[in-house]
Every structure is written in structure tokens, then in C-alpha cells.
Amino acid sequence: MPEIPDLEAIRAFYNARIIGQEITRADVLIPYVIRTGATDFVAALTGNHLGEVDRHGKFLLFHLDDGQLMVVNPMLTGRFQYMEPAKKKAAKTIFTLTLGNGMQLRYADQRVMGKVYVLPEDALASVPMWAEMGPDALQVSEDEFRARIRRHNGAIKNVLTNHKFVCGIGNAYSDEILFEARIDPFRKRTTLSDDDIGRLYRAMHRVYGWAIPILRGHFSEELDYQEWRDHLKVHRKGAKPGGDRDEGRCPRCGNHISEISPNDRITSWCRTCQR
């Protein structure tokens, strides 16, 4: 699932290349994902010009020259590409935009779960989930973070990934944030002290502070996006059955990283560091 660092890297890549480019052709290959209708999508984009790309939570917002937005919610398996038209399309490519510079902006989605909209900038509230989202994780103040977190109960990992609390934190980076804060992912939010909440807020910014530059560097020259998680410290770093006995160790204390997959959602943590 693309999360804040991934989307920030994609946003930076596009902003260095597509601003001002004319969309000379728009093609929809899988209409179901285009929630505003494939015909209207093609009509709105063809001949239009791309502006700056913004991000809010897990949404990418492509500004268009006529005041509209192309809004993409990539969900679990949405992937962005930028390549020459002659290159083979990825499986389940949803749409392609051919640009005046001869390149193509492509969006593929293996599970066809994502959603794409074209609408006026002042109509964002009509996008499903938009109105109920909390503030973006990179923009929320500590005071607001503290006030909002007290409205949510349950395991702290579930709170972090709840878009109604703050938006943009997903499964992978919630593990990293909790590891940085030394908080067990299954600890109840109601047991967190004021100090714990402050440590969690600071951990969130530290994790994004080192992860975003790494992802921007990784995708600085080419965008054929495949999920990249090699840089993470704990998420999916648990020892694999039959693997080397020294693999899957905590980078802080050296003990083994625990890993479970309830409902096919992997959670990784150190039982020593995150009591």
C-alpha cells in the first residue's frame, strides 16, 4: 500500500517533470476504477495541462490548468509509472495520459481497488472518505494530535491507521512509528500517558523525516513504482521459517523481531523494546 513516504516521492518525481505539460491523449483501459465515468474523464483531460501534484493522506491530487483536479486514491495496490509509450504496459493498467513531451503517465492497480475522480477543486468533499478524514499526519499539530487521539479507543496500532484520527499512516509505517516510540502495537490507547502520546507524536515525525528522503532518492531518476520497503527497520523484518538464526533481529537491542498476520495484515515489533 502506498503510504506517505511513497506518495511524497511520487509527488516530487512528477512535480519535477510534468508541470505545464499538455495531455495530448487520455486512454481508459479499465473503466470501473474511474468513478466519474470514463467518457467524462477523457473529455476533461484531453487538451488540458497538468499543474502541481499535491498529497493529502493517501490521496494524490493532480491539479489541472482549468481548475479541476484528478484525484487518485491508490488503495492497496495502486501503482504509478512514467515512461515512454512504447514500453509494455503493466498488468491491470487503468489509464494512460500521453503528454506533450512524448512521455506517458500511467496508473495500474493489480486488485482494481483504487478510485480515480476528476472534479472541481471546490468539490473535494464529494469524494468518498474525504469529509471524514482527520488532518494529514505531516500537518497535524501536537496539540491537535493529543486532542484527537483521546477520541479513539482500542489497540494503538489500529488508532494510528484510522483515517478518522489522522490520515496517511498505513500498516508498514505504523509499525515503524511504534518501534521508534517504544510502544507495543497492541497496547490499548487508554493506557497511554501524556508522555507516551508526546513520544508517539515525535516518533511519527522522526520516522517520516528519515523515510521520505530515502524514498525520494530511490525514485529520483525513474518511476516504475513497485512497493519498496528495504529501508524499514522492523516491518516485515521478522525471521522467516528455516532462515538464518541471526536474521530478523531488532536493530536496537538485538533480540528477534516478532511478526504476526491477523486478517492478512502483518504486524512486526520487538517484544523487548516495545513493552
Q: Would you say the pTM of this structure is higher than 0.75?
A: yes
166 pLDDT more than 60: yes
pLDDT at 263: 77
Q: How far apart are CA 5 and CA 243, in angstroms?
A: 29
171 pLDDT more than 90: yes
Q: Tell me the per-residue pLDDT of 206-259, one tens digit each, with 9 for 90 and over.
A: 999 999 999 999 988 888 867 778 899 999 998 776 556 667 899 999 999 999
Cross-strand bridge partners of residue 256: 249
Domains of the chain from N-terminus onward: 4-126 (3.20.190.10), 142-269 (1.10.8.50)
268 pLDDT more than 80: yes
- The mean of the pLDDT values for the chain is 95
Residue with cell 513531451: 101
Q: What are phi and psi of 70, to 5 degrees?
A: -100, 115
Neighbours of 128 (CB within 10 A): 10
Average pLDDT on 107-126 reads 96
pLDDT at 221: 83
Q: At what angle do helices 171-181 and 194-218 cross, to 10 degrees?
A: 130
| Sign of the CA dihedral running 245, 251, 252, 258 | negative
pLDDT at 262: 79
User: Contact at 8 Å (CB) between 104 and 83?
Assistant: yes
